[in-house]
Structure 1
Amino acid sequence: MPNILASATWAKNGVTVAGGNGNGDAINQLLKHNRIVIDDDQTLIVADGQNDRIIQWKKGDTIGEVVAGGNGKGNGLNQLKGPRNVLIDKETDSLIICDTGRVNGLAMNDQRYLYVSDNAKQEVRRYQWGDKNGIIVAGGNGQGKHLNQLSVPTCLFVDSEQNVYMSDNWNHHVMKWAKATSNNRVMRWPQGAKQGTVVVGGNSQGAEANQFNGPRGLSFDRHDNLYVSDSNNHRVQRFSIE
């Protein structure tokens, strides 16, 4: 898990590393995909929701490989139904997949705390294994554009300092919440912070390199580069750390 400085910044323009070939079900396409994760080899794993599959893109590849689902929508053991999230559980060397539901974002830290974004309550909660209630770590102040609010929080990432990064879908940005702390942006909340800061996006809805259209997932590679699942643009964008 990367240890990202609270002062870290990223390039404002992204580079497409998966998809970007229009919407569809070919293995070089995505269709309103959701969560993304990066493994230690910089392989990108995508929950390709409306294609009912999990697809991976190795570094530098122009086409992906289906690793779960892809056999039509359904409840069979070889099928998925609009998967929204995928996690890599390193302790068991397996994928944890969340199918369609109110929960949009899942993340796990090094202590195996589970973070869950609830797009109905506009909040993120942290759970220990076996804990049914959890505690609010971001949002929880109603839906809105203020820096202490969320508007359909979707996917999450937690760094080694327990800072929470999330794609704030209807605000079109990515936010960061430091530990204890429709807009198209990614925001950062440091630990203990009461409001976040925009780190990429926030330039209204669009398809330019500095814009998003419904970001739903984000992840970091081992070099701390930021990857954003730009769902309605059917692409994954990489923002290099500066």
Structure 2
Amino acid sequence: METSSPRPRAERARQVADVLRQRITAGAFDDGPLPDEHTLGTQLGATRNAVREALGLLRAEGLVERRQGVGTLVVHPKYGHGLDRLVGLAEALDGYGDVVNEVRSVGIVTPPPATAERLGLVPGAPAVHLERLRRLGGVPLSLDTTYLTADIGVPLLDHDLAGRDLFALIEETSGRRLGRADVVVHAVTAGPDTAALLDVAPGTAVFALDRLTHLDDGRPVDAETLHIRADRLTLRATLHRGPA
């Protein structure tokens, strides 16, 4: 950071906000309020004005809030979900608090043609559809919409879909191991229905994570879309550079 820079104030504030956001998501301020503006400026090598504007950006994101007599606090801690290992979201959040799944719908359906194609199903073949609203610490975290091939999904219908992780149930009931998943992450704005379920304002930016999970023999069996509150989760990965 720079204390005397000719660059526009908005640019300096953005850079300070980027550093603060990284520290917040790493858990640096989970135990209390952020330091005051002067202290933050000293720590970050930034002017007090730049820090003040950066905190305004983070408040607009819903990441922090100002409380009279207390200071600036993290609104909700962000939880990390690694993208370099195949685990369910509940598995990734183990130890962070109580994860509760509300099963909003479940049943045997004819999937949309595009979904059937992803799962390698012939047109008109049945699949199991499951939609769950996930809460962590009582606050909505994600809305998960899943289509499973019938041979994998039907045996799950007699199990605890509210209390169990889906990946663990698939391996338990099928006797097969999951092998890999193809993942694409989009930044989208929440429509009215999604926003109401996730308890955010319509138009709020959320993660849309599309995941196609395969058994260890390569067969796709689980196509899902997760809408995740971006103010509550960070997506992390460790990447290794190899040959081109």
Question: TM-score normalised to the size of structure 1?
Answer: 0.22
Give the helix-richer structure, 1 or 2: 2
Structure number with greater CO (CA < 8 Å, separation at least 6) is 1
State the structure with more CA Rg.
2
Question: TM-score normalised to the size of structure 2?
Answer: 0.22
Give the strand-richer structure, 1 or 2: 1
